[in-house]
Every structure is written in C-alpha cells, then in structure tokens.
C-alpha cells in the first residue's frame, strides 16, 4: 500500500503535535477500511454489527468469505484477527496478523494485536519485540509503551 500520501501520514504519526498524530491515525484507518471501496467497507461494517450482537460465527463467516473473495484486503484479515483474539483463539489471530503485515507492513493495529496475542500466550519477549516494532511506526502510542512495561514486569 505504499504511496506518497500514506508515507506522509506515517511520518505524521511521529509528529510531536498530538492533533497531527490523531488526524493521521484516523486517516490511515479510513484508507485501510476503504481499500476495497464500498463493497469491502459494507462487509466490514456487517461483520462488526454481527460481532456486537454476539453473533461471532456469523461475523467470522462474513470476514472469511470477504478474505476468500479479496485475499489482498489487509483490513479484512485484521478484523478477523480481532475476532479471533476476542474469542481467545490467539494462534489463529496471530496468523491473521502476520498476513496483515505481509500485505501492509505499516499496519500498527496488526502489530499491536500481535503483541496482545503473544502476551496472552505468555511469550513476553516476543510481545515486547512486537510492541517495539509498533512503536517504530507510532512512537507516541502510550498503550504500547505501557504493555512493554507490563510484559517486562512479567519476565521478572
């Protein structure tokens, strides 16, 4: 997904101005969700509605069908990774996060999710490394900084 506009937004994530960082974050999410236009966005929304209604199997089916139809749609993989994480299916979530990163190496959300999965699996060293990778993209992400400290404490 490398293009000059995205590259500028990624640089803005490193800006000392919180407003600039927040705007860049929102714009990147918008671009990623709309990668496949209205078709993909509608199915992502449908899966989220199903998830919120507690219809996890139906949400997974929507996302899996979307991935089968559009295997290069990174956000479909990412949303399914979130679903798997919420279900405690950490290995499945990790696999989907890795696919997101193959498609979009700057996807800080997938890196964060990967770190969460690794921490849940008690692989704290790998989790720390992954949260640090996320901080290379989003250095001001306090949640990732906090999670590094938490994982470090669990190693003691």
Per-residue model confidence as pLDDT tens digits over 138-155 = 999 999 999 999 999 999
> For 9-35, what is each residue's pLDDT tens digit?
999 999 999 999 999 999 999 999 999
109-126 confidence digits (pLDDT tens): 999 999 999 999 999 999
Q: Is pLDDT above 60 for 2?
A: no
List Cα–Cα distances, 95 to 39, 60, 117, 135, 153, in angstroms: 24, 15, 10, 21, 26
Collapsing DSSP states into helix, strand and coil, what is residue 108? helix
The C-alpha atoms of residue 29 and residue 122 are separated, in whole angstroms, by: 29
The length of the chain is 156
Contact by Cβ (8 Å): 99, 77: yes
């Amino acid at each position: 997904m490398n293009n000059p506009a995205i590259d500028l937004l990624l640089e803005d994530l490193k800006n000392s101005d919180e407003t600039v960082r927040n705007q860049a974050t929102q714009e990147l999410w918008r671009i990623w969700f709309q990668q496949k236009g209205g078709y993909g966005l509608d199915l992502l929304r449908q899966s989220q509605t199903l998830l919120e209604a507690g219809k996890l199997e139906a949400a997974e089916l929507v996302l899996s069908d979307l991935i089968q139809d559009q295997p290069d749609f990174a956000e479909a993989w990412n949303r399914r990774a979130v679903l798997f994480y919420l279900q405690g299916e950490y290995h499945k979530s990790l696999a989907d996060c890795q696919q997101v990163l193959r498609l979009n190496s700057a996807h800080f959300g997938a890196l964060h999710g990967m770190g969460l999965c690794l921490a849940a699996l008690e692989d704290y060293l790998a989790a720390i490394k992954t949260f640090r990778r996320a901080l290379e993209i989003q250095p001001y992400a306090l949640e990732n900084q906090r999670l590094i400290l938490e994982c470090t404490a669990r190693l003691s």
